[in-house]
Structures are given as structure tokens and as C-alpha cells.
Amino acid sequence: MTLTFPKLATTSEQPLVVCRGVTKQFGEGEAAVMALRGIDLDVYDGQMTLLVGESGCGKTTLISVIAGLLDATNGELSVLGRDLRKLRGAALVHFRGGHIGFVFQQYNLLPALTAAENAAVPLIIAGVKRHEAVARASKVLEMVGLSDKLKSLPSQLSGGQQQRVAIARALVHEPKLLVCDEPTAALDAASGKMVMEMLKRVAVQQGRAVIVVTQDKRVFDFGDRIVHMSDGRIERVETAEERKKARQTEGIVATA
């Protein structure tokens, strides 16, 4: 069977990410682990998609495959209208560098660089002059509410502030797809909420999508869609409306 992928995903009807039958096997023979067992998933622009499920169910593997950090073993994968499985080597690195941003649980900031310099790193790597890169990064730091911390070192920032610098760094080249792996896991409830609010405000726009892996139930309500995974498969996809209704029903049952 051949699938035709959209050439360019520019309207909200065309998903920014299309996975069809995506599998991922680690290792061979007796040591083989089937981390993804046939994933069908659409990720829409202008939305925040949450990926949830128990430890080891394949969440990190799935976003790594979608972001082009890992090769899928089988299946079809279109990201921003490109057949990702056909991109190799330098072309893949270039595509990732241009269109995809990453945020991880650990912020991985460089300790000797200021917040503005840290957020500027992807631009400097891409060849933008240092002065201009830091100026552009400073604007993004303002968007994430850190205009008064531009010159602070990571050690002078709280966990939530460091994570916001990491998000600014991921957004500085204006990627169409932002992928976050448990961005609130190391944060207290208030900082986690602030980070999610900021992500929603800054990163979720027309023509852009955010995928957030999380096990943090406190932030589930931020998702436009919640994709529940189990053992390498998608169990169900819940929309924000469905979640709201289910919670109302739970509320009625609880108060009855």
C-alpha cells in the first residue's frame, strides 16, 4: 500500500505529523525490544498534543522517531509534509535544525553561559553572528517572562526559570514542531503550571504544533488532545472536550 503525503502542511486540516503503522524495534534476536508496535497518529497544527502512559510504554521512543532522532523500523511517517524516512544524513540534520525544537526533562544548559547566551546557542551553531543571536534570544526570553534574567547564569535561576530558558532555546529558531519530553517532571506544581501556560501561549500557534510527553496529571488539562499509550500502542485519544465531559461526570458521581 502506498500513502500519499501532503506536500506542504499549511492549513489546519492537514496534520503536521502523520504516523501510519510506525514500529520501532531495539536490538535483535532474544534481546529485541518492540518499543512501538504500530502507531497511527495525527498531530494537528495550532494544538498541544499530550502523550501519556506508564513508564516504558514508548513515549520517548515515539517523539524521538517523530523528531528524526531515531529511525523507525517500519511504517510511514510524514513530518511537516516531508517523508521523514527518506531523509538521511546531512539532509535530516538540516531538516531537524530548521523545523524541530526539543525540550527535555533535564534542561542541559551550559553553566558558564548566561540565559541569553544559552538560548542563543542554536542560532550561533547555525552561523548567526553572536551579537544578533543573543539579541534574538533575548526577545524570546522576554516572551517566556525572563526579561530580567537575561544575564543570569543557570546556577542563579530556579528550576522553572531554567526550564523556560531551555524552552526559549528550543524556540529561538522558530520551529514548526516543538517536542518536549516531561518538561515539568523536575518542577513543583506552580512552576510546572507556569511552564505549560507559557508553552501554550508562545508555542501553540497557527502553523505550529507542540507535543508534550508527560506523566504529570496536574498538567493534563493543558492538552488539546491527550494520546494515551500502553505497551508500544495508542490505546485511545481523548480531546479536551471529552476530558472536560468525563471530569464533569466524575464530579456528578462524586457528589451524588
Interacting residues toward ligand ATP by CB under 6 A: 26-27, 33, 35, 55-61, 215
**Distance from C-alpha of 133 to C-alpha of 119, rounded to nearest angstrom:** 9
**Distance from C-alpha of 208 to C-alpha of 163, rounded to nearest angstrom:** 20
State the minimum distance, in angstroms, from the CB of residue 6 to ligand ATP: 27
Buried b (16+ CB within 10 A) or exposed e, 113-145: bbbbbbbbbbbbeeebeeeebbebbbebbebbb
Q: Which does 55 bind (CB under 5 to 8 A by kind): ligand ATP, Mg ion, none?
A: ligand ATP
Q: Is 61 in the site for Mg ion (CB under 5 A)?
A: no
State the minimum distance, in angstroms, from the CB of residue 59 to Mg ion: 5
Segment contacting Mg ion by CB under 5 A, of 4-12, 53-61, 109-117, 157-165 = 53-61
DSSP string, 120-136: HHHHHHTT--HHHHHHH
Sign of CA dihedral 60, 62, 68, 71: positive
State the minimum distance, in angstroms, from the CB of residue 101 to Mg ion: 18
* Phi, psi dihedral angles at 130 (to 5 degrees): -50, -45
Q: Which does 98 bind (CB under 5 to 8 A by kind): ligand ATP, Mg ion, none?
A: none
Q: Is 60 in the site for Mg ion (CB under 5 A)?
A: yes
Nearer CB in complex with Mg ion: 60/162: 60
- Residue 249 · residue 242 · CB < 8 Å: no
State the minimum distance, in angstroms, from the CB of residue 10 to ligand ATP: 31
**Distance from C-alpha of 134 to C-alpha of 178, rounded to nearest angstrom:** 21
**Distance from C-alpha of 80 to C-alpha of 8, rounded to nearest angstrom:** 6
Q: Where are the alpha helices (DSSP H) in the chain?
A: 59-66, 89-99, 115-125, 130-143, 159-171, 189-203, 240-255
Nearer CB in complex with ligand ATP: 58/160: 58
State the minimum distance, in angstroms, from the CB of residue 57 to Mg ion: 9
Nearer CB in complex with Mg ion: 60/214: 60
State the minimum distance, in angstroms, from the CB of residue 187 to ligand ATP: 16
Q: What is the DSSP letter of 63?
A: H
Q: Which does 41 bind (CB under 5 to 8 A by kind): ligand ATP, Mg ion, none?
A: none
Q: Which does 163 bind (CB under 5 to 8 A by kind): Mg ion, ligand ATP, none?
A: none
Interface residues with Mg ion (CB under 5 A)?
60
